[in-house]
Amino acid sequence: MITATQQLENYLESFTEFEKLAAGHDLPWLRKLRQDAFARFCEAGFPTTHDEDWRFTNVSAIAQTPFRLARNGRARLSQQELEPYWLPGVSQSVRKGQLRPPPDWG
List, for residues 42-59, the tens digit of each pLDDT value.
898 888 889 888 889 898
Supply the pLDDT for residue 30: 93
Residue 106 belongs to a domain = no
Residue 105 belongs to a domain = no
Give the integer Cα–Cα distance in Å for 35 and 66.
Answer: 21
Q: Pick from 73, 82, 76, 74: which is nearest to 102 by CA?
A: 82
Residue 52 belongs to a domain = yes
Supply the pLDDT for residue 38: 93
Residue 12 belongs to a domain = yes
List, for residues 13-35, the tens digit of each pLDDT value.
888 888 888 888 899 999 999 99
Residue 63 belongs to a domain = yes
Q: Which domain holds residue 9?
A: 4-100
List, for residues 46-97, the tens digit of each pLDDT value.
888 898 888 898 988 888 887 777 766 566 667 777 777 777 666 555 555 5
pTM of the model: 0.59
Q: How many domains does the chain have?
A: 1
Residue 82 belongs to a domain = yes
Which amino acid is it at 40?
R
